[in-house]
Amino acid sequence: MSTYFLKRILYVVPITLAVSFFCFSLVHLSPGDPMDAVVSADAPREVVAMVERAYGFDRPLPEQFALWVSRALQGDLGLSAANGRAVTTEVFAALKNTLLLALAASLIGFTLGCTFGLLAGYWQGSLLDRLVTGFAVGGVSVPHYWLGMLLVIVFSVELNWLPSSGAGPGSSNDWAFEWAYLRHLILPAVTLSVIPMGVVTRTVRAMVAEILAHEFVEALRAKGLAEKRVFLHVVKNVAPTALAVMGLQLGYLLGGSILVETVFSWPGTGLLLNNAIFQRDLPILQGTILVLALFFVLLNLIVDLAQARLDPRIQRS
């Protein structure tokens, strides 16, 4: 058990290093000049050179990378090229909002996905199954931003029930679990939950169908076990896979909410990334991608460890 845990944790080190290298390289390979974020286009050359020196963009790339990694290890991701604020503060302030959104979306997606998947799998071939499967396929296929805009038109613009943008009447710094703030979370969370809901529904449905075909289920029924108890056994067998899928989905939600956060002006990492891309704000891009990637790595680690706890066969393999 402990060897497996240790091995799994040690894997994280090379992954992290590789991730930081790719973050840095990809961002620098992409077209665009970070100086465009710092100085106005009509700035004379000497001003550009002066600012370049001040930001360290004039140094060779390997040196910039070494400096960036050594600072990152101390928790300093540099300064935003666009606004001069500390990247660490910017990213973590945004990450807090994205986590809130992703967790809310996961909660909705996971709960509905598991419920629908279990129902559809248990009554496979029924009308309910067909309805749920259609809904799941729709959920996986529908473009996030389109659904977001549609919900805004219906619930904000036409019905005026829910706000269309922002993270509260004040700002996300004042966030509180009160209706005035929660109502801002509903539309983006529902929009974002549709994909994990679809994925979880389909996975759980397939798993339930597969488990129901196993001989042990026949044996349980033959022994005269109540159908409720049989169902419980099925749920237990589905749990590790559902959890793994949801863990990965949470990771995708953290990194993949760019469009939803943009549509709803939700001040998270997605909006931060989107703006950084358009402003060529390399330090913010590097920092956000690194933090999100590390979060994804961490999440995978937690899911793997939790799965191993739930299913001893994983450790043995």
Partner 1 sequence: MVYKKIAAALRQARRAAAVTVSLTVLSMSAMADGQVLRIAMTASDIPLTTGQPDSGFEGYRFLGYTVYDALINWDLSSADEISGLTPGLAESWEVDEEDTRVWTFTLRQGVSFHDGSEWNADAAIWNLDKVYDEDSPQFDARQAGNVRGRIPAMDQYEKVDDHTIRFTTREPDAWFPYQLTFLLFSSPAQWEALGGDWDAFAREPSGTGPFRLTRLVPRERAVLEPNADYWDADRVPRIERIELIPMPESSTRTSALLSDQVDWIETPAPDAIPRMQSRGMTITSNPYPHTWPYQFSMLEGSPWRDINVRKAANLAVDREGLEALLGGLMVPAAGIVTPDHPWYGEPEFETRYDPEEAMRLLAESGYGPDNPVEIKVLISTSGSGQMQPLAMNEYIQQNLAEVGIALDFEVLDWESLFPNWRRGAEDPSSRGAHATNITFGWLDPFAAFYRFMHSSMAPPNGFNWGYMDDPEYDRLLDEARVTFDQEAQDAILAEFHTRMVDDAAWLWVAHDVGPRAMQPRVKGFVQAKNWFQDLTPVYIEE
Dihedral sign for Cα 65, 71, 73, 77, please. Answer: negative
Least distance (Å) between residue 144 CB and partner 1: 14
Binder of partner 1 out of 4, 92, 142, 166 (CB under 8 A)? 166
Instruction: Find the binder of partner 1 among 65, 90, 110, 288 (CB under 8 A).
Output: 90
| Nearest one of 1, 265, 296, 242 to 148, comparing CA atoms | 265
Q: Is 3 in the site for partner 1 (CB under 8 A)?
A: no
Q: How far apart are CA 97 and CA 99, in angstroms?
A: 5
Please identify, using beta-carbon distances, which residue of 157 and 226 lies nearer to partner 1: 157
Transcribe 163-190 into DSSP letters.
--SSSSSS-GGG--SSHHHHHHHHHHHH
Q: Hey, CA dihedral for 202, 204, 205, 206, is it positive or negative?
A: positive
Q: Does 177 bind partner 1 (CB under 8 A)?
A: no
**Minimum separation from the CB atom of position 89 to partner 1 (A):** 9
Give the nearer residue to partner 1 in terms of CB position, either 6 or 54.
54
Nearer CB in complex with partner 1: 240/270: 270
Nearer to partner 1, 133 or 269 (CB): 269
Half-sphere exposure (Cβ direction) of 224: Cα atoms closer than 13 Å: 0
Check residue 180 for interaction with partner 1 (CB under 8 A): yes
Q: Which is nearer to partner 1, 134 or 169 (CB)?
A: 169
State the residue for tokens 């990637």: 293
- The residue type of 14 is P
Total residues contacting partner 1 (rule CB under 8 A)?
Answer: 54
φ, ψ of residue 146 in degrees (nearest 5): -65, -45
Cβ neighbours for 316, distance < 8 A, ≥ 6 positions apart: none
3-state class (DSSP) for residue 239: helix
Contact 87, 77 (CB under 8 A): yes
Contact pattern for partner 1 over residues 235 through 274, marking x by CB under 8 A: ---------------------------xxxx-x---xx-x
The tokens 């990213």 sit on which residue? 91
Interacting stretch for partner 1, rule CB under 8 A, among 214-222, 223-231, 277-285, 303-311?
Answer: 277-285
Question: Counting contacts by CB under 8 A, is residue 170 touching partner 1?
Answer: yes
- Any bridge partners for residue 86, and if so which? 79
| Ordered alpha helix ranges (H), 1-143 | 2-10, 12-29, 35-38, 45-55, 61-73, 87-122, 127-141
Q: Which of 278, 302, 309, 312: binder of partner 1 (CB under 8 A)? A: 278
Considering only residues 25, 70, 83, 141, which one is a binding residue for partner 1 as defined by CB under 8 A? 83
Nearer to partner 1, 115 or 262 (CB): 262
**Residue 157 touches partner 1, criterion: CB under 8 A:** yes
For residues 184 and 172, what is the distance between their CA atoms, to the nearest angstrom? Answer: 10
Site for partner 1 in 120-149 (CB under 8 A): 149
Using rule CB under 8 A, residue 27 touches partner 1: no
Binding site for partner 1 (CB under 8 A): 31-33, 36, 38-45, 47-48, 50-51, 54-55, 82-85, 90, 93-94, 149, 152-153, 156-157, 160, 163-167, 170-173, 179-180, 262-265, 267, 271-272, 274-275, 278-280
